[in-house]
Amino acid sequence: MRFASSLFLLLLVFVPLLIKYMREQHAKKRGTLRFSNVQRLRQALPVGLARYYGILSVMRLVMIVLLIVALARPQSSKGDESITTEGIDIILTLDVSGSMQAEDFDPNRLEAAKKVAADFIHGRKNDRIGLVVFAGHSVTQAPLTLDYEVLLNLLEKIHIGMLQEDGTAIGMAIANSVNRLRQSEAKSKVIILLTDGVNNCGEIDPLTAANLAKAMGLKMYTIGAGSKGRAYVTTNDPIFGKRRVPIQADLDEETLQKVAEMTGGKYFRATDAESLAQIYEEIEQLEKTQIDVKQYKEYVELFPYLAYTVFGLLCVEIVLTSTRFRKIP
């Protein structure tokens, strides 16, 4: 509760002085008619009523106090608040090409990337996050959303081979991610791209797409995934059955670094699941949510309730002074 015109409360200082004045006046009162014996007058009064004559003075004091408080305009908050938050718009761009099956991450690169991305999503608040996946071409798995439950379900459904055309279209993935953020009005717009290969297909090369991102004020963090040297992929050979096939690291770190630098971001190299988790933690610290909070409180005027109370007490006093507490001249 608050008082809109709190200066009126200073008038309460005079209430003790008023009480003292009323007591002095009561002590000075003398009857205008003198009786030798008032026993019969006492018998005419209702039993025990004489002792309550002072209630009228108390009622007047209460009315004065309530009137002063009413003039101070007490207001009560409904407790309703409208909070407007503005976070960061983030696109997680994930490579789902065949090489992401490599088992140098536990259990493989894609599953490790999905787990770390899920942890990243759990750690965000008020940020809209979207998912873009790519192999030989790029598609949007989830548009920007605050519904993290739906987002996590769509992330879980990502798998190798979900895009029929294999390959690594990094430039197309960047262009698609930029398009997802094209109409965003967030103060900060970020793309986090993870890949383990080199751009080998698609109509747009990574640097051209990065220029587009830079022109739109987007920041890119690029992550190169994969151990240095050989890694192994488990394949299901129709003749020999399941076997582990070695693949050579084919990561274009130079291009990924240029893409990040052009947009004011940063390039990271992840060689295992632990280092990948640390990279996402670092990005999370770099991109802390900036929140603008506006709170609106609605106040209810309590003046009418106090005014009605004063009016009711006044009516009670008028009734009492005209009936039970009526003065005989």
| Residue 8: predicted pLDDT | 85
What is the β-pairing status of strands 128-134 and 74-81?
A: unpaired
Task: Measure the CA–CA gap between 57 and 25, rounded to whole angstroms.
Answer: 12
Task: Measure the CA–CA gap between 53 and 180, rounded to whole angstroms.
Answer: 81
Consecutive H or E run containing 266: strand 266-270
Burial class (CB in 10 A: 0-12, 13-18, 19+), 17: exposed
- Residue at 90: amino acid letter: I
Q: pLDDT > 70: what percent of the chain?
A: 84
Task: Measure the CA–CA gap between 214 and 327, rounded to whole angstroms.
Answer: 91
| Residue 321: predicted pLDDT | 78
Report for 61-65, 171-175, 282-286: range of highest mean pLDDT: 171-175
Tokens of 67: 């009137």
| Residue 274: predicted pLDDT | 94
- Residue at 77: amino acid letter: S
Assign 212 to helix, strand or coil. Answer: helix
* Confidence category of residue 38, pLDDT binned at 50, 70, 90: low
pLDDT digit string, tens, across residues 39-50 = 665 555 555 555
Predicted TM-score of the model (pTM):
0.65
| Residue 61: predicted pLDDT | 87
- Residue at 72: amino acid letter: A
CA 7 to chain centre: 36
pLDDT digit string, tens, across residues 211-248 = 999 999 999 999 999 988 888 888 877 777 778 888 87
| Residue 151: predicted pLDDT | 97
Burial class (CB in 10 A: 0-12, 13-18, 19+), 270: buried
Termini Cα distance of the chain: 47
Has residue 33 got a pLDDT over 70? no
Tokens of 132: 């873009």
Assign 157 to helix, strand or coil. Answer: coil
Q: How many CB atoms lie within 10 A of CB 112?
A: 22
| Complete domains list, the chain, with CATH | 2-80+298-322 (no CATH), 88-286 (3.40.50.410)
Question: Which of these ranges, 165-179, 265-279, 300-314, has the smallest mean pLDDT?
Answer: 300-314
Task: Measure the CA–CA gap between 67 and 309, rounded to whole angstroms.
Answer: 9
Contact partners, residue 24, CB within 8 Å, separation at least 6: none
pLDDT digit string, tens, across residues 155-213 = 999 999 999 899 999 999 999 999 999 999 888 999 999 999 999 999 999 999 999 99
Tokens of 237: 């050979």
* Confidence category of residue 32, pLDDT binned at 50, 70, 90: low
Token pair 């004045």 in the structure block, residue: 21
pLDDT digit string, tens, across residues 129-163 = 999 999 999 999 999 999 999 999 999 999 999 99
pLDDT digit string, tens, across residues 78-105 = 655 555 556 799 999 999 999 999 999 9
CA-CA-CA-CA dihedral for 10, 15, 17, 23, to nearest 10: 180
Task: Measure the CA–CA gap between 110 and 95, rounded to whole angstroms.
Answer: 8
Longest C-alpha distance within the chain, in Å? 134
Tokens of 5: 């015109």
Q: What are the beta bridge partners of residue 192?
A: 92, 221
User: DSSP of 207-265, one letter per residue?
Assistant: HHHHHHHHHTT-EEEEEEES-SSEEEEEEEETTTEEEEEEEE----HHHHHHHHHHTT-
